[in-house]
Amino acid sequence: MALLKDGQARIRDDVTLLQDGQARLQDDMALLKDGQARIRDDMALLKGGHARNVAERQAVLIAEDLGLEYVRTLNFEDITNMVHTHDTSDLGANDLRSFRLADLILEAKDRAGATCSVAVEISFTVNGRDTRRALRNAEYLRRFTGQQACAVVAGVHVDERIREHIAAGEVFWYRLDRNSLEVA
């Protein structure tokens, strides 16, 4: 009986050790999952930023693909001055801030020589949020300039849920070639 009790005590100790090890393993797995999520989020920022750099370098091509002649890229100061010189009292502060921080705003000319604007939202994978921003920014550009404005989304991939907007001509998709994203 004493040997049996001693064996049971050792088994209980081993089970306790096993449970402790399992708890540590679960804690380590949770840390690993958190680390992976941070890496995934950081990679998304890097991919998006790199896609933006490439799209900025290809501004002339974006305009040409729309049948326009590139004139210039508006900078933050240009966009901010545009907002400050117009009545924006009916527009939300967050929307105006987002507009001022637009990914890319181009000035171009159409075939007849008329000035028009191009609002470009850029992501590695273009989605509904990018589409809504591009459409909103194009509308603000029409309002502020009184001229034609085009909405463009630029990226390597496109979320299937926005294909209908592209097919309907509401927004133009400028596909960034994967090769242009390679670091030389």
Nearest to 63 by CA among 172, 144, 179: 172
For residue 59, give the amino acid letter. A
Q: For 75-109, b where at least 16 C-beta lie within 10 A, e where not — what string?
A: eeeebeebeeeeebeeeeeeeeeebbebbbbbbbe
DSSP 176: P
pLDDT in tens, 58-106: 999 999 999 999 999 999 999 999 999 999 999 999 999 999 999 999 9
pLDDT value at residue 1? 86
pLDDT value at residue 50? 77
Question: How much of the chain is helix, strand and coil, in % rounded to 5?
Answer: 60, 20, 20
CA 54 to chain centre: 14
pTM: 0.79
Instruction: Judge whether residue 184 has pLDDT over 70.
Output: no
- Gyration radius of the chain's alpha carbons: 27
Q: Which two tokens stand for residue 110?
A: 């159409």
